[in-house]
Amino acid sequence: MTLPLRVKPRLRLEPGASPSPSSFVQAAGLDSCLQTSHSHVSSFRSLLLVMQLYSPSIKMVKQVGLGEMISCPVFGDHDKVEGKVILDPNCSQNGRLSISIEGVFEYVSVKEDLGNESAQGPTTSKYKHIFLSSSAVIPISPIPNPFSVVCDVFGVPQLPNHPSLDDPAASRSCKFSFEIPRGSRPGEEMPPTFRALIPCDNRRGGISAVEKAEVSYRVTAVWEPSDMSGISGMLEVPILFHSDTDFQSMDGCNIAPDLWLEMPLTPERSIPFHCAVTLPRPQTFSRCTSVPFFVVFTTKPRCAVLAREIAADATIAVSLVRKVTIKPQLPPASTDTAQLSDDSDSTSGHIPTSRTKLLKRAVKTAAAAVVRVPKTPEEPFSAAVRYKPLPELPQVSFSETHTVKTQLSVGFPKRPRHPNEPGTECQAYLPDGLYKGKFRLSKDIIPGVDWPGVSVKYYLDVTVLFRLDVLRACVPIRVF
């Protein structure tokens, strides 16, 4: 009589292990793995595997490539990606179950070479960067029933077989839990799930191209049998991640901000006038709103003749600029090792042995989880995983700057005046000229991203040209 192996992997970290980099955070322990407060259970099935995900909410999304709607689990900043993988009874008794979570940023760049007359249209370049990766590997194999071994040694007749214990086709499952990583500095947030498709017009009238940016997450389970005759299986489940943002009313977005921040434009040489750009504070804007701004100038010292010339002849150019950067970061080598142990009640004190020292040296062959044999065969597999560094593969950095929108104006059309104080004292502190504008954003543009290895940042590039003098300023803004 044999029993299918029911083991519960657990994580053991060495005391001297180096801390994980900012882009990887240790996953939750076993207790939180078994105690979930999520109210939605989503089930996904393949030929040999069944995955259940516990999430606080779900959302119906259109599946890419198929056009049909599917239900996807949704997670936030303070949630844990928890679930369970169930092996089909037809799976081999010996094998390895791998469970992983992955976050991917994909970007399709579109460029048009106007200097090449033979070009039929704009060229596209595809880039892919994995900014989040973690996995746990659980070896699975049958073990003899201790009661059966004792009966064979002493010649004691065995009790009738219990179908739920001795049936090799009994279902086997493994619970897992991943903690959502948090940023290590202010403003650093894991990018939300999004998909942006922006058509790009061909200036020559030929075939147009589509600029694409996408952030996607998925949980993958892979079953690999030990024997060659067994059948392998894989199940890939898409999940959604949306950062926890405060409620924002669309009516409140139209209210004029109370605080404005004025930033000076830098001239190339000393000139008798100053320019500045004014933006709402803080410089954070939703894609459903607009980016208002003011460009002002003041003569120093005050000169009415020069002020009239600047107000009539100066050229103002304001551009909304986007910069996409992919810079893979190689994590430091991990010193953690995994051990296979049958001691389920080990104490916190650890006595180093020769085998332990050997495992400490073999860093390259370290596993992702510690496995132990449970006391009762009814316990399911349970995996507590931590975020492992990505493999040190050569990856190419990429950076691209693109002008989204531009506004041009010849002259400063307005002369600011104080609404309540028409006296000369108040007017002396006002600028000599003012240009008011705004950029209307759209849900189709790429949201800002600030995460180790990948970033999407927006800037307001302001230029004022008068005669031979140029004044410039580049102001960063956040778009979400």
According to the per-residue pLDDT averaged within each range, which of 22-36, 121-135, 248-262, 454-468 is highest?
454-468
Q: Which domain holds residue 225?
A: 2-247+340-384
- Asked if residue 431 belongs to a domain, the reply is yes
Shared domain check, 156 and 83 = yes
Percent of the chain with pLDDT over 90: 39
Q: Are residues 414 and 457 in the same domain?
A: yes
234 in a structural domain: yes
Average confidence (pLDDT) over 405-414? 92
pLDDT at 31: 38
Confidence of residue 392 (pLDDT cuts 50, 70, 90): low
If asked whether residues 58 and 83 sit together in one domain, one would say yes
Same domain? For 165 and 41 the reply is yes
Q: What is the DSSP string of 250-278?
A: TTGGGSPPS-EEEEEPEESS--SEEEEEE
332 lies in a domain? no
Domain assignment present for residue 207? The answer is: yes
The pLDDT score that the predictor gives to residue 124 is: 85
What integer pLDDT is reported at residue 394 of this predicted model?
Answer: 55
For residues 200 and 314, state if they share a domain: no
The pLDDT value given to residue 71: 87
Whether 439 maps to a domain, the answer reads yes
CA dist 212 and 229 (Å) reads 43
Of the listed ranges 8-17, 46-55, 135-144, 359-368, the one predicted with least confidence: 359-368
Higher per-residue pLDDT: 111 or 353: 111
Higher pLDDT residue, 27 or 330? 330
Q: Is the pLDDT of residue 323 over 60?
A: yes
Q: What is the signed CA dihedral for 376, 377, 379, 383, rounded to 10 degrees?
A: 110
Count the domains in the chain. Answer: 2
Same-domain status, 288 and 238? no
pLDDT for res 455: 93
> What pLDDT score was predicted for residue 419?
57
**pLDDT in the model for residue 341:** 34
Residues 308 and 167 in one domain: no
What is the model's pLDDT at position 368? 39
Model pLDDT, residue 204 = 58
Q: Is residue 176 part of a domain?
A: yes
Q: pTM of the prediction?
A: 0.71
The one-letter code for the residue type at 386 is: R
Confidence band, pLDDT 50/70/90 cuts, at residue 112: confident
153 and 270, same domain (yes or no)? no
More confident residue, 474 or 168: 474
Average of per-residue pLDDT across 390-417: 81
List all residues 6 or more positions away from 462 whose beta carbon is below 8 Å from its beta carbon: 265, 277, 293, 295, 316, 317, 318, 472, 473, 474, 475
Task: Please indicate, yes or no, whether residues 363 and 421 belong to a single structural domain of this protein.
Answer: no
String of DSSP letters for 444-469: TSPPPEEETTEEEEEEEEEEEEETTE
Residue 334 falls inside a structural domain: no
37 and 72 share one domain: yes
User: Is 291 a residue whose pLDDT tops 80?
Assistant: yes
The answer to whether 416 and 431 are in contact (CB under 8 A) is yes
Q: Decide if pLDDT at 220 tops 90.
A: yes
Q: Is residue 97 pLDDT above 80, yes or no?
A: yes
Residue 1 pLDDT: 45
**Res 67 pLDDT > 90:** no
Beta bridge partners of 128: 106
* Stretch (H or E) spanning 147: helix 146-154
* CATH code, 164: 2.60.40.640
pLDDT digit string (tens) for 69-87? 888 999 988 889 999 999 9
If asked whether residues 232 and 263 sit together in one domain, one would say: no
Q: Mean pLDDT across the stretch 438-464? A: 93
Residue among 378, 369, 372 nearest 176 (CA): 369
For 7-66, how does the pLDDT look when each residue is reduced to its tens digit (9 = 90+)? Answer: 444 433 334 433 333 333 333 333 334 455 677 899 999 999 999 999 999 998 887 666
| 172 and 237 belong to one structural domain | yes
- The mean pLDDT of 468-480, rounded to a whole number, is 94
90: in domain: yes
Alpha carbon distances (Å) from 251 to 254, 255, 271, 310, 436: 6, 7, 43, 38, 22
Check residues 440 and 227 and name the one with the higher pLDDT: 440
